[in-house]
Amino acid sequence: MARVEAVLFVSDEPIPLKRLLQLATLADVAEAKELIDRLNAAYDASGSSFRIERVATGYRLLTRREFVLWLDKLHQRQAALKLTPPMLETLAIVAYRQPLTRADLEAVRGVQSAEMLKQLMERELVRIAGEDDSLGRPFLYETTRKFLELYGLQSLDDLPLAERLRRIKPTKLESLEAEAA
């Protein structure tokens, strides 16, 4: 257990189970999961401020949510991570509608969004995911693994109201029926 805890303690990013096996010299994935569960039980029993959580593609040793405000003040992280309301709006639209083009984003926001996308890309929260097949082959944008890590999500399905708010692409038949109506 101490080896697993030590590996997770010094890591600054989520550690996938297979990598955790190598670093902590464990027998298999089942042993790693069991040790993580035992560590979490020990943390809970002792009232520890720590917990091991699955984030994005791996596991991290994290501080419990009730300590976030205090730690942000201590490390002055809040200023570095603070997003303006337009940046948050843009990030939310990308998260729920990805992959999407800048034109799609601007149609939802109603304003130019190039600068917001640029700032989110500089913070490594949004990335270019490829090119759309439409005229001019515009870039498609999506959120990054860092976005999932920062917001404590395992996947995009963990977003609030994800099922209702995620874009469902209509079939060609539905599109034709909508145009005819």
- Residues 6+ away with beta carbon under 8 Å from 38: 1
Supply the pLDDT for residue 39. Answer: 93
In this predicted model, what pLDDT tens digit does every residue of 127-148 receive, in sequence order?
A: 999 998 888 899 999 999 888 8
150 vs 15 pLDDT, higher one: 15
Give the integer Cα–Cα distance in Å for 51 and 60.
8
Supply the pLDDT for residue 90. Answer: 92
**What is the mean pLDDT of the segment spanning 147-155?**
81
Query: What is the H or E stretch that residue 129 is in?
Result: strand 126-131
Q: What sign results for the dihedral spanned by CA atoms 89, 92, 94, 96?
A: negative
In this structure, the number of other CB atoms found within 10 A of the CB of residue 150 comes to 16
Q: Which domains does the chain have, with CATH numbers?
A: 2-68 (1.10.10.10), 83-170 (1.10.10.10)
In this predicted model, what pLDDT tens digit does every residue of 93-117 receive, in sequence order?
A: 999 888 999 999 999 988 999 899 9
Q: Judge whether residue 165 has pLDDT over 50.
A: yes
What are residue 116's phi and psi, to 5 degrees?
A: -65, -45
